[in-house]
């Protein structure tokens, strides 16, 4: 995760590869001074221009390698730009007929795609990764429109997605089995075979990431894919379909159906879906697992978190403060792996808090399209209400707000739900805000005395997605990492996602992994073949 400069003058080159698609001029260099009314106006125009672009207004299902509308509409949902809260369009939800069609296209695609060599499949993915990099600016601009997150974050996300697609493109040729020598010259060999049609369902905080983290390992292994994005963020998964098509992915191998809960249920329970890969909340994950159990379908679940971030007294204080901010304030705090329970050793609480508050107050809340914005808009009014309820409840239960936690009006044109990053002190382990996932920029600070105590308290959660440890004592770092009950741990950093490193949760935070080589195991099944080299022996 690149660190970002939080202030001052910036020079940016906006070199949009697809400027014409947005109806804007080509290769525009903007010398940006902050605050600058011209730039503000420019960015509003940009948002308006993108919102009326073909990416938004075109059909948002993707079947047979092209965009289409559903043949039967089981309802509409609003697509809103979170920063303005303006409705950009209504999107039709797909029903049974279109879900059936998407799965049937994917089954058809599977016949030929699964027969290609890993090398051939990998080449398609590697080409797709390059196209994503060429279209990075367009994808990032559209991701901002979907999510309301700052543009610099969206660019990092797209870059990371391209890397993931590239990575699985590279691994595809290496998917193989084992040769197992047995007695008397006999042997067995194993083959890793694809599962069939994989269904994917995503949440709204990292829409392109969810589509690419699920589809690229699935496709690398020879499966085909049907994805339902979150109804709040339907845009970039469809663009990924166009990227795959341009890269040479055969029609039917990657399909998108848009919709809400009903569409998700239809996909999950479809008899020809071999596996569901889901990212979202724990209650929905549990329902999906239950539905899959009926047909013994494979599942990958990436669910919620309430992760600890432990700051020991021997840490590098500045790094620890930066780490705690990265652990809480990216994407308006709507990050599953966030370390929202920040345990600070009592002896350094004063200097830690002083630096943290000072730097948090300097974060720039504003227009997501501005280069220096570090806090964008909350995804929706509903999520804003949830976040504010947690802050109010925290106060009632005895926590103290030391900064943030308020709705901010950044510009009269931006009527979305902007919230200043919130730091809570006087928190205790039993408080609701400390126990439950908020999914907003709300950091709870807790103090501790000893390593043993903090490990016990950190593990006292039903969830186990991630965790951070800040210390300069290497033995302690390894010791605590080994004791923490979580799938993704960071020592002296937080929320970094190198593509080759598996990501996923312990306990109720999920099953299976995304990223890294281990993920291939979750998109394949092992066939073992015994080969007899002698005569068949039997007692009859």
- Stretch in the footprint of ligand NAI (CB under 6 A) among 67-75, 109-117, 274-282, 485-493: 274-282
Cβ-Cβ contacts under 8 Å for 329 (sequence gap 6 or more): 360, 363, 374, 375, 421, 441, 443
Interface pick for ligand NAI out of 52, 281, 319, 493 (rule CB under 6 A)? 281
- Stretch in the footprint of ligand NAI (CB under 6 A) among 120-128, 139-147, 166-174, 256-264: 256-264
* Residue 390, phi then psi, degrees to nearest 5: -65, -40
Helix (H), strand (E), coil (C) string for 154-165: HHHHHHHHHHHH
- Stretch in the footprint of ligand NAI (CB under 6 A) among 75-83, 225-233, 409-417, 515-523: 225-233
Q: Kindly state the DSSP code that residue 262 receives in the 8-state scheme.
A: H
CA angle 242, 262, 99 (to 5 degrees): 45
Site string for ligand NAI, 447-486 (x = CB under 6 A): ------------------x---------------------
Catalytic residue among 101, 137, 302, 371: 302
The yes or no reply on residue 264 touching ligand NAI (CB under 6 A) is yes
Interface pick for ligand NAI out of 260, 367, 371, 372 (rule CB under 6 A)? 260
The yes or no reply on residue 95 touching ligand NAI (CB under 6 A) is no
The answer to whether residue 302 is catalytic is yes
Is-contact 495 327, C-beta < 8 A?
A: yes
Residue 76 CB, nearest distance to ligand NAI (Å)? 14
Comparison of 224 and 230: residue with beta carbon closer to ligand NAI: 230
354-384: buried (b, 16+ CB within 10 Å) or exposed (e) per residue?
ebbbebbeebbbbbbbbbbbbbbbbbbeebb
Q: What are the helix (H) ranges across 225-315?
A: 236-247, 261-268, 282-294
Comparison of 243 and 256: residue with beta carbon closer to ligand NAI: 256
Comparison of 288 and 326: residue with beta carbon closer to ligand NAI: 288
Q: Which residue is nearest to ligand NAI (CB)?
A: 264
Measure the CA–CA gap between 418 and 209, rounded to whole angstroms: 23
DSSP of 74-141: EEEEEEEETTTTEEEEEEEEE-HHHHHHHHHHHHHHHHHHTTS-HHHHHHHHHHHHHHHHHTHHHHHH
Residue 430 CB, nearest distance to ligand NAI (Å)? 21
- Which tokens sit at 449? 């005395």
The yes or no reply on residue 304 touching ligand NAI (CB under 6 A) is yes
Is-contact 499 161, C-beta < 8 A?
A: no
Measure the CA–CA gap between 434 and 307, rounded to whole angstroms: 10
Interface pick for ligand NAI out of 52, 190, 265, 355 (rule CB under 6 A)? 265
The yes or no reply on residue 231 touching ligand NAI (CB under 6 A) is yes
Element counts in the chain: helices (H) and strands (E): 18, 26
The yes or no reply on residue 307 touching ligand NAI (CB under 6 A) is no
Comparison of 65 and 285: residue with beta carbon closer to ligand NAI: 285
> Exposure of 531 by Cβ count < 10 A (0-12 exposed, 13-18 middle, 19+ buried)?
exposed
The yes or no reply on residue 510 touching ligand NAI (CB under 6 A) is yes
Comparison of 167 and 503: residue with beta carbon closer to ligand NAI: 503
The yes or no reply on residue 147 touching ligand NAI (CB under 6 A) is no
Number of residues this chain uses to bind ligand NAI (CB under 6 A):
28
Binding site for ligand NAI (CB under 6 A): 201-205, 228, 230-231, 260-261, 264-265, 268, 279-281, 284, 287-288, 302-305, 336, 437, 439, 465, 510
Return the active site residues: 302
């Amino acid at each position: 995760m690149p660190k970002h400069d939080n202030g001052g003058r910036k020079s940016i080159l906006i070199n949009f590869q697809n400027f014409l698609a947005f109806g804007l001029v080509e290769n525009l260099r903007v010398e940006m001074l902050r605050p600058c009314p011209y730039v503000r106006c420019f960015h509003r125009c940009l948002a308006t221009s993108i919102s009326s672009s073909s990416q938004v207004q075109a059909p948002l299902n993707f079947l047979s390698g092209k965009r289409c509308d559903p043949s039967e509409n089981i309802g509409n949902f609003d697509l809103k730009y979170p920063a303005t809260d303006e409705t950009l369009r209504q999107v039709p939800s797909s029903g049974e007929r279109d879900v059936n069609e998407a799965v049937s296209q994917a089954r058809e695609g599977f016949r030929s795609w699964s027969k290609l060599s890993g090398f051939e499949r990998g080449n398609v993915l590697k080409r797709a990764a390059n196209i994503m990099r060429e279209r990075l600016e367009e994808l990032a601009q559209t991701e901002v429109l979907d999510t309301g997150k700052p543009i610099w974050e969206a660019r990092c996300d797209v870059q990371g997605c391209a890397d993931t697609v590239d990575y699985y493109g590279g691994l595809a040729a290496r998917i193989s089995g084992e040769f197992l020598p047995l007695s008397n010259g006999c042997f067995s060999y194993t083959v890793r075979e694809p599962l069939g049609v994989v269904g994917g369902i995503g949440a709204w905080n990292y829409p392109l990431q969810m589509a690419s983290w699920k589809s690229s390992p699935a496709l690398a292994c020879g499966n085909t894919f049907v994805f339902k994005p979150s109804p709040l963020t339907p845009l970039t998964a469809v663009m990924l379909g166009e990227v795959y098509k341009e890269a040479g992915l055969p029609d039917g191998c990657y399909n998108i159906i848009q919709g809400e809960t009903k569409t998700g249920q239809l996909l999950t329970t479809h008899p020809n879906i071999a596996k569901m890969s889901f990212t979202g909340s724990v209650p929905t994950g549990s329902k999906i697992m239950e539905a899959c159990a009926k047909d013994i379908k494979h599942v990958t679940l990436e669910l919620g978190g309430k992760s600890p971030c432990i700051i020991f007294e021997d840490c590098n204080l500045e790094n620890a403060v930066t780490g705690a901010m990265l652990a809480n304030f990216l994407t308006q705090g709507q990050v599953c792996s966030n370390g929202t329970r920040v345990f600070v050793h009592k002896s350094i609480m004063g200097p830690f808090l002083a630096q943290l508050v000072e730097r948090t107050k300097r974060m720039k809340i504003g227009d997501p399209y501005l280069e220096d914005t570090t806090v964008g808009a909350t995804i929706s009014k509903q999520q804003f209400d949830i976040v504010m309820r947690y802050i109010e409840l925290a106060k009632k239960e005895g926590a103290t707000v030391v900064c943030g936690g308020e709705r901010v009006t950044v510009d009269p044109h931006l009527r979305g739900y902007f919230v200043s990053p919130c730091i809570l002190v006087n928190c205790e382990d039993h408080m609701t805000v400390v126990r439950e996932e908020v999914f907003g920029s709300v950091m709870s600070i807790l103090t501790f005395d000893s390593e043993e105590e903090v490990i016990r308290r950190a593990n006292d959660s039903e969830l186990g997605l991630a965790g951070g440890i800040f210390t300069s004592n290497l033995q302690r770092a390894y010791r605590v990492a080994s004791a923490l009950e979580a799938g993704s741990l960071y020592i002296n950093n937080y929320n970094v996602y190198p593509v080759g490193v598996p990501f996923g949760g312990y306990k109720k935070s999920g099953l299976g992994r995304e990223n890294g080589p281990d993920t291939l195991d979750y998109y394949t099944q092992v066939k073992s073949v015994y080969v007899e080299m002698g005569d068949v022996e039997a007692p009859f």
